[in-house]
């Protein structure tokens, strides 16, 4: 019975990783395309895509990337709450803007909720990307940091 539960849990987790992984790839592509357009260079697009892929494969940097992307989701949710409440969060300094962005209860609740949801989404997406990239990573020479 225990084996069936473990198999079912693993299958459910693999399906979730597959669904979130595809959306995560779209988000990574969006960031790489934005960087390519900003610098008006195909090389910067390719370098950003390669760097983000490499960041996803490494465990520590993948966690940092997930926290960064989730923080952006939290800021977007808080900004939407501020816009609907009529709060002007554009200030002279970035620090003041962030403080005002999370100054209302609605923006705090939405920011924390979207951060938590985004973190789960990004971590499962990175896990899927690591599963996809694992056969490629095994063929690299023994470089420190590439082993799981």
Q: Tell me, what's the pLDDT at 137?
A: 61
Half-sphere exposure of 108 (CA within 13 A, CB side): 5
Which residues lie below 8 Å from residue 122, measured CB to CB, with a gap of 6+? 24, 65, 66, 69, 70
Which residues lie below 8 Å from residue 145, measured CB to CB, with a gap of 6+? 58
Model pTM score: 0.77
pLDDT interval class at 73 (50, 70, 90)? very high
Q: Tell me, what's the pLDDT at 2?
A: 65
Domain ranges, ordered by start, for the chain:
2-138
pLDDT in tens, 93-126: 888 888 888 888 999 999 999 999 999 989 888 8
Q: Where are the alpha helices (DSSP H) in the chain?
A: 2-39, 42-57, 59-85, 94-101, 105-138
């Amino acid at each position: 019975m225990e084996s069936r539960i473990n198999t079912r849990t693993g299958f459910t987790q693999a399906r979730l990783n597959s669904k979130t992984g595809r959306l995560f790839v779209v988000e990574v592509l969006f960031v790489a395309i934005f960087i390519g357009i900003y610098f008006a260079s195909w090389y910067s697009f390719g370098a950003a895509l390669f760097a983000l892929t490499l960041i996803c494969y490494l465990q520590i940097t993948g966690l940092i990337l997930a926290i960064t992307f989730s923080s952006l989701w939290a800021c977007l949710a808080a900004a939407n709450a501020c816009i609907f409440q009529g709060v002007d969060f554009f200030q002279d300094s970035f620090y003041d803007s962030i403080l005002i962005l999370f100054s209302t209860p609605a923006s705090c609740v939405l920011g924390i909720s979207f951060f938590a949801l985004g973190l789960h989404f990004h971590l499962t997406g990175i896990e899927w990307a690591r599963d996809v990239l694992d056969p490629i990573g095994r063929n690299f020479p023994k470089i420190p940091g590439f082993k799981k």
